[in-house]
Structure 1
Amino acid sequence: MLKKLSVKNFKSWAELSVEFRPITVLFGANSSGKSSIIQFLLLLKQTKDSTNSQAVLEFGDSSTPVELGSYKDSIFRHEDARNLKWHLEWSLDKPLSFTDTTQKRRKAYNFREIGIKVELLSRGRKILTNELTYTTNMASFSLNRREGKPGYQLTSSNEELFRFVRSMGRPWDLPEPTKCFSLPDQAQTYFQNAQFLGLFENAYVNQMDSILHLGPLREDPKRQYPWSGSTPADVGRRGERTVEAILSATEFGLRRNLKYKSPTKSFQEMIAWWLQKLGLIYSFRVDEVGKESGLFRVYVKKGPQSVETLITDVGFGVSQILPMLTLLYYVPAGSTILIEQPEIHLHPHVQAGIADLVIATAINRKLQLIIESHSEHFLNRLLRRIAERETEFGNITQNDIALFFCENEGGQSNLSPLQVNLFGGVENWPKDFFGDQMGDIIAREKAASIWRMRNRNAQSS
């Protein structure tokens, strides 16, 4: 699970620091910088996924989750003389353990939380890694570019605890890393006790693999879907693989429960339960058009007395929420999911219900959800559930949720955490958090007063 992200000089963020919780929600006006936080995490993920081993950072193209252009396009104020820096920290499901075999008494090390700290700089079209450090609570292990000299040095921040020992006959400096997270292979041959660094890199790769993304826009529903037995990793950025995921989950007999130790439901039963709970439809099923045809249709009923129809013939709300609902119950427990504006095209009642879905899956499936939203209804339901504490969707407290408000002043983004108390109250509401509601109310009453006065004057004359 991601714990904390600190970034300097990315897009509109001169400096950013955000602490993540099981549920993290980013609010703010358009172009306030909240999307850039999600984009940065996707930048790291697509760099890990890139087949270009020479790309220190993979800024992307039309086929990747984000397309950021170049270093200059992505750097704060487009000033490529600035260095891009970040520090990402996360917790591990299982402790990372290794032993230093160069010690007379072999010493074992165990870490539950680690991090990666990187500093990049631009030299024309070439991006150089100035620093690549893996951090722990006891020591940090750094690959640093030598100032004014070619090559890199490998060091420990606490040599009393751990010291790198050179291999005999290998006094050379290390080459530059290929990707921003990947130490050169020579580190493990030039030093007798550097093999453990591969464990840190593997932990980073696993964390990136656990990050999944659902964008704000959806692919239009279809009258039928082909499926040949594939098992997608997720539902796609636009939800285009949602039906594939449902069919795969059905094929493998996946079952889910609403709360810990509550009775389980089949995957399609869970989807149908939520769609009914949200007030969108009465029933839901996916069936093959004909035996072994490989073509499937999604059928829904609006009400108990309604005629069953195809998903294409009902409102867009079902198609908007279905990919998110499927994703949250389809992915492995412990995944980190980035979701942008889940409330688009949805009635306020459904927007509020999304909060219950988020709580149920974050608490009971141990998912980490990082959500960008503009929805007041979604926020109010989250705050209500904090006040209630014990709900049918799981027990929630203010410590499980982090809420942030992004704003941009003079082209620079700022992030303010909302202070939520034990009773679900926000103690530091930002000005115009959801627009100037009070200003609208006053203006409306003033306009009504003027028209009433005009009507009275017209009647008296």
Structure 2
Amino acid sequence: MDGSIKHLWIGLLTKTFNVTVLMLKSISLENFKCFKEEATFNLKKINVFTGYNGRGKSSVFQSLLVLSQSLHRYGNIETLEINGDLVQLGVLEDLINCEKKTDSTIRFHLKSDIEGAEDIKLGYKEKEDSERLGKLDELEIDGIDYFNREVSAIQDDKNTIMEIHKLSNYPTQFHSLLSNYNYVSADRKGPTLYEEKRDLTIYNPIGKNGENLLNAIAKKKTLQDKVNRAVSYIMDGGEISINGEYARKTDILSLNFKTSNSSENKFKSINCGYGYSYVLSIVANVLTINKGILFIENPEAHLHPKAQSHLIKFICKELAEKDVQLFVETHSEHIINGIRICTLKKDSLITHNDVCFYFFDMNYCFIKLNMDENAQIDNWPTGFFDQQEIDLAEILKLGLLK
């Protein structure tokens, strides 16, 4: 083997991975789903996406989730796993903007706090042997193009040169930017009688649908106590108990609820409605994640407005001191207002500078809302939680005309 090539491979094999999770500062999407031209989202500690249905909110989540599941599936970023544990998006052609079919590359542009990997550009085309996979076609980090960079020290064919330099030189800290993701899907598991005992994975251990929820809670008594305190606060009373805990010789876990602190009666989860079960996946993820990014879709689902407000306040408080970024997709003004309240409380570690709101309008455009230190928004757009005022005005008008 040529000495220069050998040196590169040794460097690749002996390189130390830095697992410190650092802040994702922005993500830009180009030719990805509804984003024809490059669309940039500057990010903060708490990032909230709201607006009209089917206008691109979920696509922002999916862009990061598809990269993360690809890294976990293959151990690198060279193959895009379009259908994995987090998201199933069909074939690569489905991800290409329908108005830009002449360009077959979807592009992701990430900016982070990672020294040596602060500016990362990725491009993927359809893999020759599978329409359900993408192959890395563009890679640029901090201005260095890893596909077109000429390397005079190695005399070999171009493909080998590019492969070696791509693998050995892109900063391994980039892995940590996509590694620690917890995802709570809108389609999470509702009330269920039983859950089989199983080992938890390190990656998104509770599961995007909450399929491993009882296993996660049952493994640690201290976690169950924390969950109970959170549930009691969010739901104005309540407690969970899990039967078949790990010390017992059974393969089944079951969940019971006590819906009032003043009563000792416990009920099977299937007899307590969806609210308690839906909130549990969120609570458990918030309490167990210590670093990375937590994605939550529709946290308001099946919850009374007061519970929605309590839930987001609990989330903000718990994550304030953790090395965790929060991504929330919501259609609830109670979630939005709960976050605004958190930024105003004197004892809160979350300020208006830690929060970013994006609103997606009916024309597939989005705007970043400007919130000041008094939690006031000065560029309130049409369609941004104004339906109540519209309906009340119509009620008043129709009532006067009777």
TM-score, normalised on structure 1?
0.74
Equivalent position to 1:4, from 26, 30, 34: 26
Output the amino acid matched with 2:182. L
Q: Distance in 1 between matches of 2:117 and 2:220?
A: 32
1:313 aligns with 2:271: yes
Deviates more, 1:207-216 or 1:421-430: 207-216
Looking at secondary structure, tell me which structure has more strand per residue.
1
Equivalent position to 2:51, from 25, 28, 31: 28
Q: Report what 1:438 is aligned to.
A: 389
Question: 5 Å matches for 1:59-458?
Answer: 59-60=82-83, 64-77=85-98, 79-82=100-103, 83-92=105-114, 111=115, 114-121=118-125, 129-135=136-142, 140-144=143-147, 153-154=148-149, 166-167=153-154, 170=155, 172-175=157-160, 184=163, 186-187=164-165, 195=168, 197=169, 200=171, 202-227=172-197, 230=200, 233=203, 234-250=205-221, 266-288=222-244, 291-303=248-260, 304-331=262-289, 333-388=290-345, 390-391=346-347, 394-409=348-363, 413-451=364-402
Q: Which has the larger radius of gyration?
A: 1
Identity of aligned residues (%): 21
Deviates more, 1:42-51 or 1:351-360: 42-51
Count the aligned residue pairs: 372
Q: Distance in 2 between matches of 1:237 and 1:430?
A: 32
Query: Structure 1, residues 115-150: CA drift from partner, whole Å, max 9, x if none?
Result: 321234569888665431112xxxx32123xxxxxx
Secondary structure of residue in 1 paired with 2:301: coil
Q: Report what 2:4 is aligned to.
A: none
Question: 1:112: Cα distance to partner?
Answer: 6.6
Q: Report what 2:71 is aligned to.
A: 48
Q: Is the 8 A contact 2:191 2:270 kept in 1?
A: yes
TM-score, normalised on structure 2?
0.84
Q: Distance in 2 between matches of 1:54 and 1:442?
A: 53
Stretches of structure 2 that go unaligned for 5 or more consecutive residues are 1-22
Q: Distance in 2 between matches of 1:226 and 1:120?
A: 38
Q: Distance in 1 between matches of 2:392 and 2:199?
A: 55
- C-alpha spacing 1:79/1:279, structure 2 compared with 1 (3 Å): same
Q: Is the 8 A contact 1:56 1:129 kept in 2?
A: yes
Secondary structure of residue in 1 paired with 2:206: coil
Question: 1:48: Cα distance to partner?
Answer: 1.9
Secondary structure of residue in 2 paired with 1:297: strand
- C-alpha spacing 1:329/1:318, structure 2 compared with 1 (3 Å): same
Query: Structure 1, residues 283-304: CA drift from partner, whole Å, max 9, x if none?
Result: 2222327942233332322222
Q: Report what 2:6 is aligned to.
A: none
Q: Is the 8 A contact 1:81 1:121 kept in 2?
A: no
Q: Is the 8 A contact 2:106 2:125 kept in 1?
A: yes
Question: 1:55: Cα distance to partner?
Answer: 6.9
Q: Is the 8 A contact 2:182 2:285 kept in 1?
A: no
Stretches of structure 1 that go unaligned for 5 or more consecutive residues are 93-110, 145-152, 156-163, 177-182, 189-193, 251-265, 452-461
Looking at secondary structure, tell me which structure has more helix per residue.
2
Output the amino acid matched with 2:220. A
Q: Is the 8 A contact 1:232 1:245 kept in 2?
A: no
Question: 1:211: Cα distance to partner?
Answer: 1.8
- C-alpha spacing 1:433/1:309, structure 2 compared with 1 (3 Å): same
Superposition CA RMSD, Å: 2.8
Secondary structure of residue in 2 paired with 1:368: strand
Q: Is the 8 A contact 1:174 1:187 kept in 2?
A: no
